Amino acid sequence: MHVAVCYNEKPRSGSSAGSSSEGSSEDLSEPPPFSSERYAEFDDRSTIEAVRNALSRFHEVDLVEADESAYIRFLEAQPDIVFNIAEGLRGPYREAFIPSILEFLQIPYTGSGPLTLSICLDKPLTKQVLGYHGVPTPEFRVASTVGEVEDVVKGWAFYPCIVKPVHEGSSIGVWNDSVAEDPLQLSERLRRAISRYGQPAMVERLLPGREFTVGILGNGRQARPLPLIEIRFDNLPEGSKPIYSYEAKWIWDTPARPLDIFDCPAQVDEGLSRSIEEVALAAYRILGCRDWARIDIRLDERGIPNILEVNPLPGILPDPRDNSCMPKAARAAGMEYDDLILNVLEIACRRYGIKTIEVKAI
């Protein structure tokens, strides 16, 4: 089969953006875009090559960069299917660009469609959709502009709380100090998020319980959760907030000094594990996720799993030493990196009714 991998690559070292450890030297008082933050979602060459190598075991593989010429490249190459890992170049609909082009060209692709990708890149909208269906998610309010901040603060009653930009992922804008303890801090954090990221910001009640992330593979009744991962905060630096912040993801966790933060499979009793999996599968289904996704969940003070957010394009760092949840959960289920990638392709092909080789069943 002819497969095209569509991706956005992090600028190589030597340019202004780069690897996690470079983030620490940045001047955070500067206005956006912040180079290391801006490209945090993009893939390293090593990830793109790892995906290509996995697919090349059974298929003919092309690489297509998700830039302005992607449309022409697809039109010329006419792949049988696109393995989509493109995070998109800009704006709140960035993840939907490539899937929209592929819909238009009638070329099959892995993963969720443009609507799901756009909704999930809008955290408040995701929460509204889930809330409508009775899926627990923490209370929130949105300030679209700095002018709305004071009204939001006046109407807000839940402390501590956390402030985040509404259209980001990879913990962009979720800093250790994004937690606010009082109205003054909330006002300051909202203003900072709106002006730094040039988009609305939301405040959310800070859930105090354990945090989990759930990888899901498959579609319809065949959608299955991978072994749960717990994110443990006890190994974060002394005095830091119990959140998986930008610092924890990209600055404090380095190949030289990896943060021991994931437990997989998570140590949970059967009842809790079932309720986490149920709520994750419900979110996956309600939001129309396809083939694969990773769902972030945190327990509230009563121990009830709440959805924090949904990632229909999960990160897939190939090195087992990297803290990358989806590959880690897949390994715990007995799937090596290549198996995971080939399985996602197989799942997508099955959805389209495309015949391909069978790989190790999930």
Ligand X SMILES: Nc1ncnc2c1ncn2[C@@H]1O[C@H](COP(=O)(O)OP(=O)(O)OP(=O)(O)O)[C@@H](O)[C@H]1O
Query: By the criterion CB under 6 A, which residues form the site for ligand X?
Result: 138, 162, 164, 168-172, 174, 204-207, 211, 243-244, 296, 298, 308-309, 311
**Interacting span for Mg ion (CB under 5 A) from 32-40, 69-77, 288-296, 328-336:** 288-296
Question: Residue 142 or 172: which CB sits closer to ligand X?
Answer: 172
Q: In whole angstroms, how close is the CB of 234 to ligand X at the nearest point?
A: 13
Question: Residue 311 or 356: which CB sits closer to ligand X?
Answer: 311
Question: Residue 164 or 196: which CB sits closer to Mg ion?
Answer: 164
**Interacting span for Mg ion (CB under 5 A) from 3-11, 64-72, 294-302, 326-334:** 294-302
Longest Cα pair distance anywhere in the chain, in angstroms? 59
Contact yes or no for 34/168 (Cβ under 8 A) = no
Q: Is 296 in the site for Mg ion (CB under 5 A)?
A: yes
Beta bridge pairs of residue 83: 5
Q: In whole angstroms, how close is the CB of 263 to Mg ion at the nearest point?
A: 17
**168 contacts which partner out of Mg ion, ligand X, none, CB within 5 to 8 A by kind?**
ligand X
Backbone angles phi and psi of 17, in degrees to 5: -95, 165
**35 contacts which partner out of Mg ion, ligand X, none, CB within 5 to 8 A by kind?**
none
Contact yes or no for 298/67 (Cβ under 8 A) = no
Pairing of strands 262-263, 292-299: unpaired
Q: In whole angstroms, how close is the CB of 175 to ligand X at the nearest point?
A: 10
Preceding omega of 314 cis (within 30 degrees of 0): no
Question: Residue 138 or 327: which CB sits closer to ligand X?
Answer: 138
Q: Is 168 in the site for Mg ion (CB under 5 A)?
A: no
What is the length of the chain? 362
Q: In whole angstroms, how close is the CB of 350 to ligand X at the nearest point?
A: 27
How are the residues of the chain apportioned to helix, strand and coil, as percentages rounded to the nearest 5? 40, 20, 45
Q: In whole angstroms, how close is the CB of 294 to Mg ion at the nearest point?
A: 8
Q: In whole angstroms, how close is the CB of 140 to ligand X at the nearest point?
A: 8
Tokens found for residue 70: 């992607």
**206 contacts which partner out of Mg ion, ligand X, none, CB within 5 to 8 A by kind?**
ligand X
Q: In whole angstroms, how close is the CB of 294 to ligand X at the nearest point?
A: 7
**211 contacts which partner out of Mg ion, ligand X, none, CB within 5 to 8 A by kind?**
ligand X
Q: How far is CA 259 from CA 69, 220, 232, 263, 328, in A?
A: 39, 36, 10, 12, 15
Question: Residue 295 or 348: which CB sits closer to ligand X?
Answer: 295
177 burial level (CB within 10 Å; 0-12, 13-18, 19+) = middle
When CB distances to Mg ion are compared, the closest residue is 296
Alpha helices in 69-144 (DSSP H): 70-77, 97-105, 114-120, 123-132
Question: Residue 74 or 175: which CB sits closer to ligand X?
Answer: 175
Q: In whole angstroms, how close is the CB of 353 to ligand X at the nearest point?
A: 31
Give the list of residues 6+ apart from residue 290 with CB closer than 8 angstroms, or none. Answer: 111, 112, 113, 116, 219, 312, 348, 351
HEC profile for 305-350?
A: EEEEEEECCCCCCCCCCCCCHHHHHHHHCCCCHHHHHHHHHHHHHH
Among all chains, which residue has been given the structure tokens 């593989």?
Answer: 61
**Interacting span for Mg ion (CB under 5 A) from 41-49, 61-69, 232-240, 289-297:** 289-297
Residue 53 DSSP SS3:
helix
**170 contacts which partner out of ligand X, Mg ion, none, CB within 5 to 8 A by kind?**
ligand X
**322 contacts which partner out of Mg ion, ligand X, none, CB within 5 to 8 A by kind?**
none
Q: In whole angstroms, how close is the CB of 146 to Mg ion at the nearest point?
A: 25
Q: Is 87 in the site for Mg ion (CB under 5 A)?
A: no
**Residues at the interface with Mg ion (CB under 5 A):** 296
